[in-house]
Amino acid sequence: MNIGIIGGGIAGLCAAYELSKKGHQVAVFEKEAELGGQMAAFEVAGQRLERFYHHIFSSDIDIIRLIDELGLSQKLVWLDSRVGFLHQGRIYDFVTPWHLIKFKPVSLIDRARLGLVSLYLRRYKNWPHLEGNTAQEWIARYAGKRNYEIVWGPLLKNKFGDSFHEVGMVWLWGKVHLRLGSRTRGKERLGYLQGSFGLLIDALQERILDAGGKIYTSSPVSKIVVQDEKAVGLEVGERVHPFDAIVATIPSPAFLNMVPQLPTDYATKLKGVCYQAATCLVLTLKKPLSHIYWLNISDPAIPFVAVIEHTNFVAPDNYGGRRIVYLSNYVAKDSPLYQLDADGLLDHYSPHLRKINPDFDADWIEEHYLFREEAGQPIITRNYSSRIPEHQTPISRLYLANTAQIYPEDRGMNYSVGLGLKISRIVTGEVEFPDAS
C-alpha cells in the first residue's frame, strides 16, 4: 500500500518505520521545519537538547526495544533522579520513605496515609474500577483532605487549570503507578540518550528514507481528500498526493479541521477532548538553581507548575558547564501567559526563581528559549474509556492516532512509540478494531 502519514512526531515516525519494514510505501508530512514534535531538539553550547524535557522509565519497554533495534543502546544511560516538592518556600526531597517521614507540611498520620495510598496505587492494576471517580474525590476520601490540599490538589490545579475537578482518577493512577514503579531501593533511575532523544528521531528518519519512504517538512496538510466515503489523498499546498490509506497522528482539533466529512457521532467524540496548552521556558544558567531534577510546585503564587533542572540529571559538563532549567507550565490556549513571547515570560517568571533559591540573580541567566504546544495535555475525565475516539474512523482507509487515545496511560514517549506500532498493525489488518460507524 501507499500510505500517507500526517505528523512527523515520534508516533508518526514510528508508524512510518513499522509500515516501511512491512514493505509499504510511506510518505510523512510534517508542518514544522524539524521532525520530532515535542521531542525536536535544538542546540545549546554545541550539544543538542530537547525543546521539552524528556526521560524514560525502566518499564518503558516499547521505546527501549526501539532504541535497541535502531542500534542506539550504547547511547542509553540510566541515571539517578531526584524529585522534590516546593511548599511555602522550602524544598522537600520526595523520593524515599524517609523523605516522606520528614515531610512536615502534613501530620504524621497524614504522612502515613499518603505513603499507604501511594503504595496502593503503585501496586493496583484494576484501573477500570477507578473510572467512576474524579482524582479530587478519590484522593480526598482515601488520602485525606489535608494531603489533597497540600500535595495532590495543587498538582491537579497547576496542570489542568479550571478543569482540575473534572480529571479522572485513572489519570492520576497512571502517573503514580508509572513513576513509583521506576523506584527501587529508595532510588529513582531514569533513562536518557547521550546526545539527546533527537538521535532517535534521526535514526527513524534514516531507516524510513533507506526503505524508500519520503519525508516532507514545512509541509502542512490543509485537507484530507475524501471520495465515496474513502480517504484517497492529502492536499498539501497546491498539490494533492494520492494514497491508499492515511494515518493522522495529530491532535483532534487539527484533525477535525482537515476532514469536515466526519459523521456527527465521531466528530462529537473528537470535540469532547479538551486540551491544556503547554509551554516550556528553557534557561541556561551560570549556577545551579537547586539540587533537584524534578521540582513540583505547591505555591499557587508561582506562575509555573514545575522546574526540571536537566543538569541535575545529565551532567552539566555535556553543556559546557552550563546549567539547563526547564520552567514548565500548562495553561488554557487563550491565557495571557500563552500569548507572551520569550522575553515577556522570562520577565514574569524571573522574580519567582528566588522562591526556589534566595541567592538567584538575573545575571545567572545566559540564554533563554520558549517553546509552545497548543495541544499539550488532553484533559482526561472520569469514565473516559467510553469516549475515546476509535483509531479506525468511519471514513474508510482513514486512521487517527494521537495522545487522546492512549488511555489509561498518559502522554509520553513510550506510549507514543507503542501508539505508532499499534496503528501500523491496525492499518495492515494485524489487529482487529471496533467498527467506528
Mean model confidence pLDDT for the chain = 94
pTM as predicted:
0.94
Measured CA to CA in angstroms, residue 73 lies from 48, 78, 181, 190, 357 at distances of 18, 11, 22, 14, 37
Question: Is position 62 within any domain?
Answer: no
User: Are 398 and 367 contained in the same domain?
Assistant: no
Q: How far apart are CA 314 and CA 177, in angstroms?
A: 24
Identify the H or E element spanning 145: helix 145-147
Give the type of residue at 278. Answer: A
* 175 is a domain residue: yes
- CATH number (domain holding residue 122): 1.10.405
**In this structure, are 279 and 370 located in the same domain?**
yes
* Same-domain check for residues 163 and 151: yes
Residue 249 lies in a domain: yes
Pairing outcome for strands 183-184 and 230-236: unpaired
* Position 60 in a domain: no
CB count in 10 Å sphere of residue 83: 18
Sequence letter at residue 140: A
| Sheet order of strands, 239-242 included | 221-227, 230-236, 239-242
Instruction: Quickly state the pLDDT bin for 375 (edges 50, 70, 90).
Output: very high
pLDDT, one tens digit per residue, over 254-298 is: 999 999 999 999 999 999 999 999 999 999 999 999 999 999 999
Based on the fold, state whether residues 46 and 15 are members of the same structural domain: yes
In this predicted model, what pLDDT tens digit does every residue of 8-39 receive, in sequence order?
A: 999 999 999 999 999 999 999 999 999 999 99
Range of the structural domain that residue 165 is part of: 96-185
Q: What is the tally of structural domains in the chain?
A: 3
Mind listing the pLDDT tens digit for each residue in 100-129? 999 999 999 999 999 999 999 989 999 999
Q: List residues bridging with 281 in a β-sheet.
A: 327, 370
Could you tell me the CA-to-CA distances from 359 to 147, 298, 352, 388 in Å, in that order?
Answer: 30, 20, 12, 48
Does 75 map to a domain?
Answer: no
Each residue's pLDDT tens digit, 177-213: 876 666 666 678 999 999 999 999 999 999 999 999 9
Asked if 266 and 256 count as a contact pair (C-beta separation under 8 A), the reply is no
CATH number of the domain at 37, please.
3.50.50.60
| 65 falls within a domain | no
Q: Which amino acid is at 249?
A: T
Is the domain of 211 the same as that of 268?
yes
- Beta strands 76-81 and 47-50, pairing class: unpaired
- For residues 225 and 238, membership in a common domain is answered with yes
Q: How far lies 251's CA from each of 52, 202, 256, 379, 400, in Å?
A: 17, 23, 9, 13, 9
Cα separation, 145 vs 156, whole angstroms:
14
Give the confidence band of 436 by pLDDT, cuts at 50, 70, 90: very low
Are both 119 and 138 inside the same structural domain? yes
Helix (H) / strand (E) containing 247: strand 245-248
Under a CB-based contact definition with an 8 Å cutoff, are residues 3 and 23 in contact?
A: no
Domain boundary among 185, 215, 250: 185
How far apart, in whole angstroms, are the C-alpha atoms of residue 146 and residue 280?
30
